[in-house]
Every structure is written in C-alpha cells, then in structure tokens.
Amino acid sequence: MSDMAVSQPVDVDPTIADFSAIGRWMDEQGLPGTEFGEVTAIGGGTQNIMLRFTRGEREYVLRRGPQHLRAKSNEVIARESRLLRALDDTRVRAPRVIAACDDESVIGAVFYLMEPIRGFNPQTELPALHAENPEVRRQMGLSAVEAIARLGALDYRALGLQDYGRPEGFLERQVPRWLRELDSYTANEGYPGPRIPGVEQVGDWLQRHRPTTWAPGIMHGDCHLANMMFDYDGPQVAAMVDWEMSTIGDPLLDLGWQLATRPEPGTVGAGLMGTLGTVGGLPTPQEMIEHYAGFSDRDLSAITWYEVLACFKLGIVLEGTHARAFAGKAPKPVGDFLHAVTLELFEKAQKLMQ
C-alpha cells in the first residue's frame, strides 16, 4: 500500500521517517503491506535514531543516523547493515537485518530494518532475577566475553568482509591516530585543552610495548556491557548492538575494552552502568581472560597492553564530549562526568603499566 495510517504515541517528524515513503519502499522489497501499527522511539547509547513499529503483523525496528546527519552517518549505517547481514548465518549474537536501503533519497538518510531484540539493556534495566543473584551477574559477564570471542574467531574473508577495514598497520596506527583526535578538540571554542595527566606517558608506553605479531579479525569496537542486550530469563547475551565502531582489526582490543570498562562498584565509571554498576558481582578480570581462551586460540600473553590501549582510546573518545560541552554542543554535566571517567581510565592505565 502507498497510503497508510500511522498510529504513534511519539511525534515522528516526517524528516526523520516518512512512513508513506517507507511503506512504498517496503512494498518494493516484497514485505507485508498493510497499515502501520504503533510507532515508538527506542532509546539507545548513541545519537542514531531507532523506531519500533508493526506492519502486516510483523514487528520491525528502523535504524538510521541522527536527525542532523554527521559527515559519515550514512556511511556508518550502511556499513553496519552490511556487517550484520554477513553475521546472519554465524553463531554471533547480533541483530538480524530484514532489509536495508542505501538510497538516502527515500527518507533523507540511509536506513535499515531489523528484527526487534527480545532482551534488556543493563545500563537502563536490571530485572529481579539478575539484580538479586550475583551468580547470574557473573554469568552475564562471561556470556559477554564469549560473544566477543566468537566474533573475533570468525573468518572475515570467508564472510566477504576483506575490505571492511584496514588491518595492515592497525596496531601501529592506534596511538598517533587518537592523539590527533585529542588535538582536534581544541577547535571547540572555550575548551582549555586536555587536562589529562599521563596522556604522553601512556602513549609512549604503548608504542614501546606494542605486540609484534597478531592475527586480524572482526572487532565490535565498543563492546562494553551497555552495548549488550541480555535475555530476561537468564544471563545470556541476546545480542550485541551499536556496531558503529566495528572494523577489521585486532579482536583482542575488544577483550581489552571489556576489561577496561568492567564496572567496579564505587568508581566513577560504574555510574555508566546504572544498577549493575552499583551491585557488582561480575567475573574477575582473570576469569574473563580464562573464559575468552576457551573460545579462542589467540595469544593472550600481552592482554595487559590491550587493556591499556582500551583505557587510552576510550578516555580520548569520552574527552570529546567534555570538549564539545565547552562550546555548548553537549550538556555541561555530561561533559564533566565523562571527563571524570577519562581521568579514571588514565589512572587505571598507569597502574596497569606498572
């Protein structure tokens, strides 16, 4: 159908999602064509837009870039859909793409439709089963480790992803690339520059201790627990979400990322994980490393280096919001909080280096 009613409890700006145009496009894809049901916005940890709706007795989630597209928003969404489609027939827990539209003229942005995920995000919700049982929370952490280990063990070439990233020189690029990113923040009016003790020392240590041998694979790139959905009736990961930073690189950085972002009750960073960050009960770092080894044959002898790199990279990423807050481009309380997390990450990196 070309003309359909849209019942929606949220205001869906037609510049974000023109459902008449989406309906015509869905018809062309051979998807069930009846009236649209209720449309609801789904919150997430990014500025990308997700809308859940029904049509033809089937549920969909539409994902697109933010209302005011950034320079690479369309490219990011197109890359995501390509990767997720490649993962469809694997054991990796990820959203399943139903159809993707690379033609931005349809609604003004590239978008894709995926199946809804039956699960919860521990950043915003912790069901009684998980909140009251520390063993369930420990198993949640181990399931998250298994998820990234299975991802990193895939043959990306066999999945047709040989051009999805630039693995050559990946580790060599990390420190200079993120130091350039940090320098770029000075373009934000009012930002006094990075006041982060240890940036130079951590960067120098990473350069001097960089692993010389490693095997490329698929990386999620931002695999902290807030980017995981978990089953309501158990500790298993239902799906890894928000694949914006995915690439072909060194998958051990994903393990380093999970170690670096493991919420410790009483720390500033634990505040990023809501109730889960308060109650704790997650596996120890050593348990996480040993569990990863059960699903991967990668050499884990230099895992401390990857955790330090994760602290370095994530700290610089978060500092970007702090810098933008000075220019009025982000809320000041959020910028201040993330700056405190950055300081904590660099403190952790220096302790690990010792």
Closest CA to 182 of 195, 166, 168: 195
**What are the residues whose beta carbons fall under 8 Å from the beta carbon of 123, sequence distance 6 or more?**
45, 225, 226, 272, 273, 274, 276
Tokens of 137: 């929370």
Say what the pTM is.
Answer: 0.92
Predicted pLDDT of residue 44: 52
Tokens of 213: 């041998």
Contact 170, 249 (CB under 8 A): yes
Predicted pLDDT of residue 142: 98
Tokens of 45: 């940890």
CA distance 57 to 312: 47
* Three-state DSSP state, 154: coil
Predicted pLDDT of residue 285: 98
Predicted pLDDT of residue 6: 41
Helices (H) and strands (E) in the chain, counts: 11, 9
Give the pairing of strands 58-64 and 49-55: antiparallel
CA distance 97 to 115: 6
Tokens of 337: 């909080």
Contact 257, 312 (CB under 8 A): no
Buried b / exposed e along 229-263 (16+ C-beta atoms within 10 A) = bbbeeebbbbbbbbbbbbbbbbbbbbbbbbbbbbb
Contact 345, 197 (CB under 8 A): no
Closest CA to 203 of 180, 220, 230: 180
Predicted pLDDT of residue 56: 87
Segment-wise mean pLDDT, segments of 10 residues, the chain, 354 residues: 38 80 96 88 75 93 90 94 96 96 96 97 95 97 98 98 96 98 96 96 98 97 96 98 96 98 95 92 98 97 98 97 94 96 98 96
57 burial (CB, 10 Å; 0-12 / 13-18 / 19+) is exposed
Predicted pLDDT of residue 327: 94
**What are the residues whose beta carbons fall under 8 Å from the beta carbon of 240, sequence distance 6 or more?**
92, 93, 94, 147, 148, 151, 220, 223, 227, 228, 229
Strand ranges (E), the chain: 40-41, 49-55, 58-64, 97-101, 111-114, 217-219, 228-230, 237-240, 247-249
